[in-house]
Amino acid sequence: MDYKIKIVELLKNCGFDINVDLITIPPNKKFGDFSCPMFSFAKELKKSPNQIAQDLCSKLSDSNFEKIVSEGPYLNFYINRKEFIKDAINKILNRQFDYLIREDLKKIMVEYISPNSNKPLHIGHLRNLLLGQLYSKLLKKVGNEVVETCLINDRGLHICKSMVAYKKFGNDIEPDIKGDHFVGNYYIEFEKQLKEDPDLIEEANQMLIDWENDNLEVKQLWRKMNDWSESGQKETWQKFGINFNQIYYESQMYKFGKEIVEEGIKKGVFKEDDGVIIADLSDYNLDIIVAIRANGTSLYLVQDLYLAILKVKEYSIDSSVYVIGKEQDHYMRQLFKILELLGFDWAKNLYHLSYGHIELKSGRMKSREGKIVETDDLLKEITDLISVQLVERNSNYSSDELDYLSKNIAMAAIRYYILKFDNKKDFTYDEESSLRFDGDTGVYLLYTYARINSIIDKINCEFNFDNINLNLFEHDIEFELIEKLSNIDEVVKEATKKHKLSYLCNYFMDLAQTFNTYYSQVQILDGNDDRQKTKYVFLKCILIVFEELFDLLSIKPLKNI
């Protein structure tokens, strides 16, 4: 039940129309579960808000509320706890979560990762990957059709640098390591050799010219190295459970889009300025942006315009989400504004899911370049660290058990630690803190889940909804926990609508901490058969909500740690 809507209906029956947004949850439970101010009626009724609240209070009655009282200018509503608990438990056990955002269902494309094809995915890509995956799942959960896509930047001078180094120093060897790391090593080698031989950059420039002129030998080398790299990158993102519906390649579209600019010139969106084609967006506080250089070559803007239009043509999408770092905030606003000025109505539905930088606390994870932390290395580092911790806690694991637990706990630790921060916030990844069993971590969530399963196993009774005795919910902490459990669908909708993915992690952690407070305050295994049967059903509800959240976060729940 939506109690806010119920309050609106109650007030309307008494002749008071009030906006549901004015109904709030008091910070202190002594003022009720919901509170509604009467200020907006004072002028019309020529009464003080205090008097209005007092008069109205005597007219309001509903079985869903234990009591309704006036407190100054506010009406405070106290939920009928027994009815609430019964409804909430029934809703959770039957998984009747109302996730749908009915007024805004769309077909949405989410573009994320977008790596260069000459090196492994780094931790910046990892944050992008996790945000894109979670946002896609949230959009689906609230009822949208979602197309997940990736743009691979597979051409340009940076790609040719790896190719030149391989051609000069690779001796035609095949990869004996992951292909993206293999190709990335030659990019590093190029930069190293460039310090000794500055003319090497000219070879890379010439190779780019040869590539653009469809030189057969260069194109064959390019395809071979790109295949190696993409295979390695794909292996990494598949470890995180990602399979894209569509992969776009820069090499397949960089020549297109100039006709869009030409059409834009006719519409006054673009103009020539000293041989350069620009869009002057100063009237929108978005500055001037160059589309085509004086030598006739196009910038990324032209390709991005083409791809935005192509997405709509190919998939008939209503909206498109770009998961891109916050350093591109200004550029994305320019891109969206130009598409709008070109007359595309769907441009108003484009959204940039911006995110901040991520760094690593320790120096030991830095790559051979001394700058970039690779996703594969981070995953291995965290897996090794948790493996050591697990052996210290229990030396009886078999090698297979240890491997299984280490990999899944490491994945949970990484996912949660990155996703718990507001996506626009910069933060430092602390490897050891992310693995704490007693902190704000994914490990803590898994440990709590395992604890609940252990208690259920000890109760050892058959599941039966009729076993619930509502009179046995005697503690405030139990009602608080049930309230929070029943809010999962609202949290999912709020996180999606506000693009605040960290809401999900914050809510999950609050649930886990509230459960552990409950566990410390209330004796569950007390030998009372009725009480334990009731607690069994209650704990099952907690597990269901935990599993819903684990699924959204793409974390594998573990019954035993």
Residue-wise pLDDT for 23-61, tens only, equals: 998 988 889 999 999 999 999 999 999 999 999 998 999
Q: If you ran DSSP here, which 8-state letter would residue 274 be given?
A: T
* pLDDT tens string 138-157: 999 999 999 999 999 999 99
> Binning pLDDT at 50, 70 and 90, where does residue 363 land?
low
SS3 77: strand
Instruction: State how far the Cα of 434 lies from the Cα of 410, in Å rounded to an integer.
Output: 9
Question: Where do the CATH 1.10.730.10 domains begin and end in the chain?
Answer: 375-552
Number of residues written out for the chain: 561
Does residue 102 have a pLDDT over 90?
A: no
Instruction: State how far the Cα of 86 lies from the Cα of 95, in Å rounded to an integer.
Output: 14
> Binning pLDDT at 50, 70 and 90, where does residue 372 land?
confident
Question: Where do the CATH 3.30.1360.70 domains begin and end in the chain?
Answer: 3-79
One-letter amino acid identity for 203? E
153 and 111 Cβ atoms separated by less than 8 Å:
no
One-letter amino acid identity for 261? V
Cβ-based neighbour number of residue 229 at 10 Å:
29
Could you tell me which residues are beta bridge partners of residue 74? Answer: 37, 71
Question: Where do the CATH 3.40.50.620 domains begin and end in the chain?
Answer: 104-355
Instruction: State how far the Cα of 65 lies from the Cα of 80, in Å rounded to an integer.
Output: 5
Instruction: State how far the Cα of 454 lies from the Cα of 551, in Å rounded to an integer.
Output: 21
530 φψ region: left (φ > 0), alpha (ψ -120 to 50), beta (else): alpha
* pLDDT tens string 426-441: 999 999 999 999 999 9
> Binning pLDDT at 50, 70 and 90, where does residue 371 land?
low
Q: Considering only CA atoms, which of 126, 115, 110 is closest in space to residue 415? A: 126
> Can you point out the beta strands (E) in 82-144?
107-111
* pLDDT tens string 176-222: 999 999 999 999 999 999 999 999 999 999 999 999 999 999 999 99
Q: What CATH code would you report for 104-355?
A: 3.40.50.620
Query: Which phi and psi angles does 527 have, rounded to 5°?
Result: 85, -10
Q: Where are the alpha helices (DSSP H) in 462-501?
A: 476-485, 488-497
SS3 561: coil
Angle at 201 between CA 197 and CA 206, to 5 degrees: 130
Instruction: State how far the Cα of 499 lies from the Cα of 495, in Å rounded to an integer.
Output: 6
Class of domain 3-79: alpha beta
Could you tell me which residues are beta bridge partners of residue 290? Answer: 278
375-552: CATH topology is Isoleucyl-tRNA Synthetase; Domain 1 (1.10.730)
350 and 312 Cβ atoms separated by less than 8 Å:
no
